[in-house]
Structure formats: C-alpha cells, structure tokens
A and B are shown apart, each in its own frame.
Chain A
Amino acid sequence: MDPDTDSLRRAAIDRSVKGPVLFLFTNAAFWLMASTLMGFLAAAKLLKPDFIADCAFLTYGRMQPAHIAALVYGWGIQAALGVALWLMARRTANELKGGQGTLVALGVLWNVAVTYGIVSILAGNQTSIEWLEMPKAVWIVLGIILLVFCWRILSMAARTQRSEGFTITTWYLVGASLWIVWILWTAIALLGGNLELGAIGAGISAWYVHGLILLFFVPVGVGAAYYFIPKITGQPIHSAQLAQMGFWILAVIGGWTGMQRYLGGPLPAWMPAVGAMAGVLLMIPVGVVGINHHLTTLGQHKMVAASPTLRFTFIGALFYPVSGIILALISAFTTGVNLQFTHAWYGYQIVAVYGFFSMAAFGAIYYIVPRLAGCEWLSVRLIRNHFWFSVYGIGTIVVTSLVGGVQQGSSINDPLQWDQGFVNAVLSGQPYMAARCIAWALILWSNAWFLIHLLLMVAGLGRRSSAPTLLTHGHEEHLPEAANA
C-alpha cells in the first residue's frame, strides 16, 4: 500500500473511533480532577480529623474509598478503554463499524453510575469491600457496560486486517479485555449476592484488587508502551522473545496473586502462600518488559526529551519495575509482615495505577488526541507543567507512603512497644501524611491545567499545524525523526 493510501486508511480509522474515545478521555480527565481533590481531602483528614469536623462525608472512612473509586472507575477504566479502542483499531486496521452512538451512550451511563456510586460512598452507603465500595447495583451496571466495550475491542482483534496486526500490543489488549470482564463478573457473582463467605470473601476482594491492577491496568499500559516506544523512536522492539515471555508469564501468574494481602490472617494458609509466591514471581515479567523497553530506547534520549508521549511513556516504564519491586516487598513473608496494614499498601496502589498506568495513559492521550481533534496541543508549558508536577507529586506520594509504611509497620511490630497504644504508629505517620497532602495539592494544580488543555483540544481549539507540539525547541530541523512524533 503506498504511503498516501496508508495515511488515509489510518485517518479513517481515527475518525471512526473519534466520538467514543474523546468522550471517554474527557470524562476520565474530569474524574481525575475529582479523585485528586478527594485524595487531598482524605490525607488532610487523616492528619487533622477535626478539620471541618461537621461534615459526615468528609470523614476518612468515606473519603478514602471514594478517592480510590474515582481514580479507578472514573479516570482509570475510562482512560484505559479509550486507549484500548484506538490502539486496537489502529493495530488491527479495523475501523469501528457503527455503534459509536451506543458506545457514547454507554459511556454516559458509566459516568452516571460511577457518580451515583461515589455519592453513595460519601453519603454513608458503602460496602467496605476494597475497590468495590460502591453499591452492588453499580457493579452490575459497570459489568454490563464493560461487556459491550470489551466485545467491540475483542471483535476488532478477531477480524485483524493486516498480517502485522497480531503484535504484542494486541495480545496485551486482548488479555486486558478478557481479564477485566472475567474478574469483575466473578466478583459480582460471589460478592454481590447473598452468599456467605466470611474471611474467604475478604480474600476474594483482595484477589479482585490485584487482578484489576495486574491484569487490566498493567496490560493496557504495557500494550500502549509497546506501541508508542517503537512508533516514535523508529526503533523496533529489542527482542520479540522477551516480549512474549513477559506476556505469558504475566498471563500464567497474574491470577494467582492477591490473597497475600492477608498473610498470617484467617484464610486457609496455602492461599496467602501461593499469593506471596506469585507476587514475588511477578518481578520476572515486570523486569523483562522493563529491560525490553530500556534496550529499545537506548540512545534515544534526545527524543524522550522532545516528545511528550515518549516522555510520559518512558517515565511510566520506569515506574513499572518500581511497582513490581514494591509488590514483591509487600508480598514476601519476611518484609510483608512489616508492611501489612500500613501506608505501603496505598503506595503500591498509587504507583501501579497512577505512577505506571496513568503516566502511560497520559502519553497515549498526548499522541491520540491531536489525531482525533485535527489540531495540535496548544502549550508546551502546560505539557511540561503537567509532566513535572505529576512526576514529582506521584514520586513523593509513593516514597512517603512506603517509608511511612515501614515506620508504621515497625512500630506496630516493635516488641519494645508491646504495651503502648497506637501513639507512635499514629504520630510517626504525620509528616508523611502532610507530604501526601501537599503532593496531591500540587498534582491537582497540574491536572486542572491538563483538563483545560484537553477540553480546548476536544473543542477543536488547538494549534492548526502539521508540526507536532514538542517539548524542546529549535531542534526540529536537525532531528527529522523528532518531527514524526
């Protein structure tokens, strides 16, 4: 196919997914703001519970699950679906044939359901099941909407139109679509009905959380990274063998992890043990992917500096092995015992969902939106602002949560403090909570500008140009490759 027809083909694919994808991205960006604000409020209330003490909806017990629900269901899954739709369509050379209106309508329903869910949590009607605190009716609505979206994504993969269509990115997206539906409906069936499950129920909810992270957010992020890094740098992925190894090890091990959340707890002892083993073994696929990406981008650092997409994807790819190491630390018995029930768990959730997945998603959004909106990003300064505030903010939150968690855990397990109350565990965490508060406030600032920037693009008010918005100036004429970002 000659280059012009190929470009037209790709442009046609872009136009076919434009409605649903831009809708998902815009709503996701709003939820990101909401989640960041709630994260700030939750950290503030943990630090100073008497701050605005009269509002029941501001208590930490309600604000924290609402914050995470907004991050996962409001921002995370919508952004992931948007990225997956575009990636799968492009990869398999399939236009989205019809049904755009249905997808947008389902997107509206998704946002209505999530809004209802989060308002319910804040109003005091939550289930206290981790990552499923929204009322059970909401789970079912989300489950049905996901069935439709994942069916569309999978049917594009099934009808691949080009021989190069079946690449590693496709594998990860097929996996993600299958896994999330399977995992969510299992949770709905077992935890959403009248089945009495006691401690096994808690184990299933821990499995659900790990499954959503490792078998949905991670595959979408990794799949996106495997697409954008070679696309922008012009270098092929270093090793196909490593890529396949990474995928299959994740596929085999990912479903076994989760129950080590309650190691030493009331679950049948082999379950946390298997979960711990899987959590440590997952360092292998994580490391493999990290190595593959690193070897691909070797020597391309000028381009990482220039291209927004590559920058965000690259930093996400750096956070990814960090998340794998943190997972291994909280899963292994010796270290996990001291990190259990501490801030470290929150740190892991943030590094996985925000540090890795969200950064990769930002990179994807910076690439995809100009192609759907027909204009380029307006302001280099805003993109840089978004990048640096996010990196420093998330880095702060992850580091303080880990270090604070270590302190909290050693205080809880310190034989010298056996007869003291929780004084030290609470007081030692305070500086870290203050840092978390400030970090979320800074991220809120940058997310607000990201939202505005995105809204301008969606409204078609970006830069009219065929040259991309790059983060370093004055080098385009010397680096013809960078102009292709």
Chain B
Amino acid sequence: MSDQHFNPDNTDLDRLHGAVKREKADLPPGSEPAPMWVMFLGFIAAVLAGGQMGSFSGYGLESVPTYGAIQDPRSGGGPQVQLSPFELAMKKGETAYGTCNGCHQATGLGTPGAFPPLAGSDWATGGTERLIRVVLHGLSGQITVSGKPFTAPAPMPGWGATMTDDDIANALTYVRNSWGNKASMVTPDMVAKVRGTEKARSAAWTQAELEPYSKKDVAGDAPPAQ
C-alpha cells in the first residue's frame, strides 16, 4: 500500500483515527464444540417439524390434503333451533322483499298516487294464481285495491326474468304474512308451475285479465302458515 493512503497529516484521516484507535483486535472464534444439549433440543425441534408433513398426498400440483372425517363442530354449541319452513321463508322473504321495498316501501304502505299498498290489500292476501302472475309479468292500468281505485303513473314491471322462484316465493310469503296480513304460504313449486303455464306471456297483466284468477290458489304442498 502506498504512502498516500496512510499520510498521517491528512486531517480527515486523523480525525477518524481517534475512534478507530481504541478498537480491540479481532479474535478468532472459540473452538468449543457444540454442546450436546443443543443437539438434543434440535432433535426435538426436528421431530416437531416432521410432524407437519403428515396430512397430504401427492407432490404435484394436484396434491390434496388428507384430513380425517368431517365432524360438525357446531353440535353442542350455538342455537340449534331448526326453523320451520314457514319461519325460514319469512326470514328469507324479508331479504328478498328488498327488491320490492323501493316502491312498496318497507312498511308495505306504498306511496299514495304512485305505488299501491300491500298492507291490508286483497291483492296480496287473495288468490295466489293472480298474485304470482302479477310478480312474474307485471301489472298495468287502473286497479281496485281493497275497494278503492288506484292508478299508478307507470305500470309495475315484471320480475320473472330477474328473480328466482325461491326469491319470489319467499317474498310473497313475507308479503302475505306481514303488516297485519295473514294468508297461506307460497312455495317455489307454485311459482314454477305458474311460470311454466304462462311461458308464452311477456306483456304485463291488467286487472280484467286477472279477474278469473283472483280467488284461485295454485295447487301445491303449502304447509299452513303459522
């Protein structure tokens, strides 16, 4: 190494020199062998580690885990109440009714002059043949709701294309048993039956067209409403 690197007159190096001077010399590491108990603890760790490799089969991308039988951990805890079909339909119907409450409101009262009420309405508690048809294809023109005339500025659209049989059935069960209404359940089978019968139809109904259905119920295994 040349003298230029180690010129003690260089003030920069001289300042650094102070801190460096007090450093201790490097020492080679001790030659103690690894203690036996380290090996022993390491062995325990290795056994624990190996235990992680047990639960799978295969090494490719299709490798699947192999856990034991499936056991429901929920038994013994949590509410075990099995809902009756009616209670279930009411619960699901409340959510499904969300599609309807934009116009008919969450209170079922509708908006006077715009959307007819469902609470206390004979359309809601009347024949399911009529009710299901209304929901599937829509309703237009002047109607009489519980004796009073009602004209909506725009027709009700049909929901057959966007709602499933399950949703329609649950929503209608909810409508027919809320806000003081009390009537029989509507099941998805019933909705499917009507849908099949009226497959050719796409236009909205009028009150006159639905008159023959107003007191008829769709045949089906509806458990009695409770």
Contact = CB atoms under 8 A, between A and B. Distances in A.
Q: Is there a contact between chains A and B in the complex with CB atoms less than 8 Å apart?
A: yes
Interface of A: 3, 5, 7-12, 14-15, 95, 164, 167-168, 230-232, 234-243, 245, 260, 264, 268-271, 273-274, 276-278, 280-281, 283-284, 287-288, 291, 295, 328, 331-333, 370-372, 374-376, 415-419, 465-466, 468, 483-484
A283 B62 contact: no
Nearest to A5: B6
B28 interface: yes
B16 A11 contact: yes
B60 interface: yes
26 contacts: A7-B17, A8-B17, A11-B17, A15-B12, A15-B16, A231-B26, A237-B29, A238-B32, A239-B30, A241-B32, A242-B32, A264-B65, A268-B63, A269-B55, A269-B65, A273-B54, A273-B56, A280-B48, A281-B46, A287-B38, A374-B16, A415-B74, A418-B73, A465-B18, A468-B19, A483-B22
Q: Which of B16, B45, B65, B66 has the most CB of A within 10 A?
A: B16
Given A268-B62, A280-B48, A418 B74 contact: yes
Nearest to A227: B26
Given A238-B29, A269-B64, A332-B48, 13 more contacts: A7-B21, A11-B13, A230-B26, A234-B24, A235-B27, A241-B33, A242-B32, A242-B38, A281-B49, A288-B34, A291-B38, A295-B32, A418-B78
B192 to A, nearest CB: 30
B66 to A, nearest CB: 8
Contacts of B21: 3, 7, 466
B98 interface: no
Contacts of B36: none
Contact of B42 (A232, A287, A370): A287
B44 to A, nearest CB: 9
A291 B31 CA distance: 15
Contacts of A416: 77-78
Contact of A231 (B16, B23, B29): B23
B15 interface: yes
A301 B222 CA distance: 83
A270 B13 contact: no
A241 B34 contact: yes
A295 B65 CA distance: 43
B41 interface: yes
B197 to A, nearest CB: 39
A474 to B, nearest CB: 19
A241 B32 CA distance: 7
Contact of B52 (A5, A167, A332, A374): A332
B180 interface: no
Contact of A273 (B33, B41, B55): B55
Contacts of B42: 284, 287-288
Nearest to A419: B78
Given A7-B21, A242-B38, A466-B22, A284 B30 contact: no
Q: Which of B5, B41, B66, B76 has the most CB of A within 10 A?
A: B5
A273 B17 contact: no
A223 B34 CA distance: 19
